[in-house]
Amino acid sequence: MVQDNKAEEIIEELEQVQHLSPLRKYKAHRANFLKTKRELPLQVKWLKEAFPLEDFEVDTIVVEREETRTINNQVIFEKVTYERIVIRGRIIEELLQWGPLNAVLEALKHKSNKQEIMKQIMYQIHAQPEQPHFHSVCRTDINRDTISLFTRTTPAQEGRWIKAHFKDVLNRLNTHARKLTLFVLQAGINALEIRYWTKEKQVVFMFEANKYQTLLYRRKNMLMYERNKAVNEFVDCDQSHEGEINDLMLLLEDTKQKTMDQIRKESLNEKTFDDFFNYTRVKGITASAK
């Protein structure tokens, strides 16, 4: 893995953006939401502020994390809720469209191209003109070879826009690409429902969106991935399939951990990022604070 050990030269700090207010929570399961999704809520249509890059991390979907504090010479373990980060992480998860979720779940396939999937996730998250709230990284000045990043140093800090030379933040961009892919992978797994495939007589994980079904199921000791046109071959699982469900869950968790470890070792080359920024420039994607 490329280490972020090179100091970045920040050229200019841009104007502070308005703090993002929490959106309403969807009551339906994420997978059910995908089934009926037609357009973004009005709150999101009006949203022009970006999410800081640090919010695109798998930990932001976790409600609590344990911290150690020393009080009166005693070590105390506390479960601390970073409420704003947790809320923002959940908002991001709810705003993700079916395309990147489907693309990232393919990473669970044996010998899938993790680098290509990282590239696709960068494009599908940060380069969609209709989702300005995800435009957290873009080219600022092609002649000066500078880019803009919406970032923050600590969980308690508000986000801020900075400009920096592209090559100075290449390591940081790669770190973000990895963390972004891990975040979307966990969100994709969270979107799955347990169903029974009547045709194949086995338990599957699946989500349905845009008249397609994404399936994860077991074949021998391997997790299989498929994306097919939606068919009426799936029903709810009952308790008689509990053992099969548990086995599939364990296989998914084991495959997920191995996949995440592989993604953490991947990097995108300079040309890939350069092509990405050229693409966003053509699409007219610029820093929201500009």
Sequence-distant (≥ 6) Cβ neighbours of residue 275 within 8 angstroms: none
Q: Per-residue pLDDT tens for 146-165?
A: 999 999 887 777 889 999 99
> What average pLDDT score do residues 242-265 get?
93
Give the per-residue pLDDT at 6: 47
pLDDT at residue 227 is higher than 50: yes
pLDDT at residue 210 is higher than 60: yes
pTM of the model: 0.80
Least confident interval from 155-159, 172-176, 281-285: 155-159
List the chain domain ranges: 10-282
| 24: confidence class by pLDDT, cuts 50, 70, 90 | very low
Judge whether 216 and 205 are in contact, CB under 8 Å.
yes
Which has the closest alpha carbon to 287: 137, 176, 154, 175? 137
Judge whether 205 and 192 are in contact, CB under 8 Å.
yes
Sequence-distant (≥ 6) Cβ neighbours of residue 14 within 8 angstroms: 148, 160, 161, 162, 163, 287, 289, 290
* Rg, C-alpha atoms of the chain: 20
| 39: confidence class by pLDDT, cuts 50, 70, 90 | very low
- Long-range contacts, 139-142 (Cβ 8 Å, 24+): 139/166, 139/277, 139/278, 139/280, 139/281, 140/286, 140/287, 140/290, 142/281
Least confident interval from 66-80, 89-103, 126-140: 66-80
| 197: confidence class by pLDDT, cuts 50, 70, 90 | very high
Give the per-residue pLDDT at 179: 97
Least confident interval from 44-53, 112-121, 156-165, 256-265: 44-53
Tokens of 44: 């999101």
